[in-house]
Structure 1
Amino acid sequence: MNGIKLLSLDFDGTLIGPWNGTQPEIASGLIDSLEHLRRRGVLIALNTGRTVPLVDQALRIFPFVPDYALTAEREVYRWEGRHWSDVGGWNGRCREAHDDLFREAEPLLEEIRRFVERDTEARPYYEDGLLVGVVAKTGEEMDRIQRFIAGRQACCPDFSSQRNSIYLRFCHRAYDKGSVLNELQRVLTIGPEETFAAGDNFNDLPMLKRSCARWLACPANSVAEVKGVVSAGDGYVAEGAHGYGVVEALAHFLPEAF
Structure 2
Amino acid sequence: MTKIRLCALDVDGTLIDSSLAITEGVARAVDTLEQAGIIPAVVTGRTVKELEVLRARFPYLRYFIVSNGAYAFDSVTGACFYKNLLPLELAKSVVQEAQNYSVMIDIYADGASYVDAAAWANKAAYRVEFLTHPSLGPARIPTEDVGAFLASRTSDVEKLYISFEYLADLEKLHAFCQKLPVDLVVSIHDGLEVNQRGVEKGSGLKALCGLLGILPEETAAIGDGFADIPMLRCAGLPIAMGNAAEEVKAAAKLVAPDHDHDGAAWAIEQILAAQ
Q: TM-score, normalised by structure 1?
A: 0.74
* SS, match of residue 17 in structure 2: strand
In the other structure, the counterpart of 2:120 is none
Q: Residue 132 of structure 1 contacts residue 169 of structure 1 at CA under 8 Å; is this kept in 2?
A: yes
In the other structure, the counterpart of 1:123 is 104
Q: Residue 177 of structure 1 contacts residue 203 of structure 1 at CA under 8 Å; is this kept in 2?
A: yes
Answer yes or no: is 1:36 the counterpart of 2:26.
no
In the other structure, the counterpart of 1:132 is 160
Task: Describe the shift of the 1:49–1:65 C-alpha distance in structure 2 as closer, same or farther (beyond 3 A).
Answer: farther
In the other structure, the counterpart of 2:97 is 111
In the other structure, the counterpart of 2:228 is 204
1:156 CA displacement: 2.3
* SS, match of residue 78 in structure 2: strand
* SS, match of residue 221 in structure 2: strand
1:111 CA displacement: 2.7
Answer yes or no: is 1:255 the counterpart of 2:261.
no
In the other structure, the counterpart of 1:161 is 184
The separation in 2 between residues aligned to 1:66 and 1:242, in whole angstroms, is: 23
The separation in 2 between residues aligned to 1:224 and 1:137, in whole angstroms, is: 29
RMSD: 2.9
1:137 CA displacement: 6.5
Q: Residue 220 of structure 2 contacts residue 271 of structure 2 at CA under 8 Å; is this kept in 1?
A: no
The separation in 1 between residues aligned to 2:59 and 2:186, in whole angstroms, is: 26
1:187 CA displacement: 1.0
Aligned counterpart in structure 2 of residue 186 of structure 1, from 202, 205, 210? 210
1:57 CA displacement: 3.6
1:25 CA displacement: 4.3
Aligned counterpart in structure 1 of residue 256 of structure 2, from 238, 252, 257? 238
Answer yes or no: is 1:70 the counterpart of 2:65.
yes
Q: Residue 227 of structure 1 contacts residue 237 of structure 1 at CA under 8 Å; is this kept in 2?
A: yes
Number of equivalenced pairs? 226
Task: Describe the shift of the 1:27–1:228 C-alpha distance in structure 2 as closer, same or farther (beyond 3 A).
Answer: farther
1:198 CA displacement: 1.0
Q: Residue 219 of structure 1 contacts residue 243 of structure 1 at CA under 8 Å; is this kept in 2?
A: no
Amino acid at match of 1:218: A
In the other structure, the counterpart of 1:7 is 7
Could you list the runs of 5+ residues in structure 1 that have no partner in the other structure?
none
Aligned counterpart in structure 1 of residue 250 of structure 2, from 223, 228, 250? 228
Report Cα offsets for 1:91-136 as digits up to 9, x if no partner.
4xx34xx2xx23045444433432x42xxxx533243634922124
In the other structure, the counterpart of 2:134 is none
In the other structure, the counterpart of 2:78 is 85
Listed as ranges, the matches of 1:15-34 within 5 Å are 15-19=15-19, 24-28=21-25, 30-34=26-30
The separation in 2 between residues aligned to 1:7 and 1:253, in whole angstroms, is: 9
In the other structure, the counterpart of 1:174 is 198
Could you list the runs of 5+ residues in structure 2 that have no partner in the other structure?
108-113, 115-145, 151-158
* SS, match of residue 14 in structure 2: coil
The separation in 2 between residues aligned to 1:132 and 1:11, in whole angstroms, is: 19
Task: Describe the shift of the 1:168–1:27 C-alpha distance in structure 2 as closer, same or farther (beyond 3 A).
Answer: farther
The separation in 2 between residues aligned to 1:155 and 1:2, in whole angstroms, is: 43
Task: Describe the shift of the 1:194–1:256 C-alpha distance in structure 2 as closer, same or farther (beyond 3 A).
Answer: closer
Q: Residue 15 of structure 2 contacts residue 259 of structure 2 at CA under 8 Å; is this kept in 1?
A: no
Amino acid at match of 1:181: L
Greater alpha carbon shift after TM alignment, 7-16 vs 247-256 = 247-256
1:71 CA displacement: 1.2
Moved over 4 A (4+): none
Task: Describe the shift of the 1:132–1:3 C-alpha distance in structure 2 as closer, same or farther (beyond 3 A).
Answer: same
